[in-house]
Structure 1
């Protein structure tokens, strides 16, 4: 593969954060006085682009500062014990950097949580750019963060590839006119997706 910009989603693509995300959402719900939701229910909805997540999880029209504060508070206290990279991801990132590709992350997580997570997992330095929910006017499925990364690193859309695990990522990629690869070892299962990190590794290096 020619040298290019490879953009990764974080949760469900690079990082197995399912436990932390479900627990953090329930921590916010607890602070709001609501009962906890089942982890499976949260993870089924977290990538559903047809819902308003603030309404679904917190009975609010939009996320506010308290939601962000409490979510980040849980993340900060628990990421060291709950977050893990998917097996083979570190080696994949090492190989791609060694081949001279630019790497980036586009995530609907907040910047503080993202930097904490990637730093704890010892891959933060692999990335040339990171675009998060609070860096842009609109998160995925809108293309804002992908455009931000392209502008920051000076790449055109045809020089880029986006790798994610759900319809929000697919729609953002389509709207930014960036090639897309779907993976299915995260929160969702797609029949046309790449099913293992080894398979992705082979696909990117062929």
Structure 2
């Protein structure tokens, strides 16, 4: 069995509107200034608590803010203006990969299990993934525990896995876990950041990602093609 693990926000879906609107509504409730969008988006991929602590400091009421986000998230996701939107071609790619023998798919995300689950259900993607690693079951990225757990859950060795992500946190995590990494250039970090933090390669489109995944799988012995 071989394994491809995907990040979620910025890799499979565009969540920019959801993230920024969440901050716009939650921060004023705690009499905090709304963070600059660039600062907010630069932290996407980490757990929400880690993001908030970095934006406002650990002395802020982080737990209370997280609860406010939890209550707000379903409301925003119900609004098409803010719900996560798959990047063009992602659903088709996931379907193709899922249908391949000897290949499993996984997710490693800064969301908690109870927030990534509804998102995957809404996108009709849940059945694609053999393992879903989230921020409530492992330390926040870039710690490699999510990938270690995904490998353990599927019985796949690190050298037989690929991780696809859009941030430097993703690349650092993959390198620490000994997993090949593919950086995507349409997410929340610049290509230069991905390259500097260890991306094995970088792609700029879903069609290029499809080719690069195939090329990487071809370099892994033992997979049915």
TM norm structure 2: 0.81
CA RMSD of aligned residues (A): 2.0
Please tell me whether residue 168 in structure 1 is matched to residue 155 in structure 2: no
Which has the larger Rg? Answer: 2
Distance in 1 between residues matched to 2:17 and 2:108, nearest whole Å: 20
Counting only pairs closer than 5 Å after superposition, residues 104-115 of structure 1 correspond to structure 2 as 104-115=106-117
Gaps of 5+ in 1: none
Please report how far the alpha carbon of residue 62 of structure 1 lies from its aligned counterpart in structure 2 after TM superposition: 8.3
Structure-1 separation of matches of 2:61 and 2:18: 18
1:97-136 counterparts in 2 under 5 A?
Answer: 97-100=98-101, 101-136=103-138
Deviations 1:163-187 (CA, angstroms, capped at 9, x unpaired): 0011100111011101100111111
Residue 47 (structure 1) shift: 5.6
Q: Give 3-state SS (helix, strand or coil) of 1:135's partner.
A: coil
Structure 2 residue 40 is the aligned partner of structure 1 residue 42: yes
- In structure 2, the CA distance between the partners of 1:62 and 1:143, relative to structure 1 (3 Å rule), is farther
Is contact 1:4-1:159 (8 Å) kept?
A: yes
Aligned to 1:87: 88
Instruction: Check conservation: 2:108, 2:132, Cα contact below 8 A.
Output: yes
Query: Alpha-carbon deviations, 1:5-63, whole Å to 9, x = none?
Result: 00000000011101111222333312322122233332134369xxx633332332588
Q: What is the TM-score normalised by the length of structure 1? A: 0.88
Kindly state the Cα deviation for residue 200 of structure 1 after the two structures are TM-superposed: 0.2
Deviation of 1:125 after TM superposition, in Å, equals 1.4
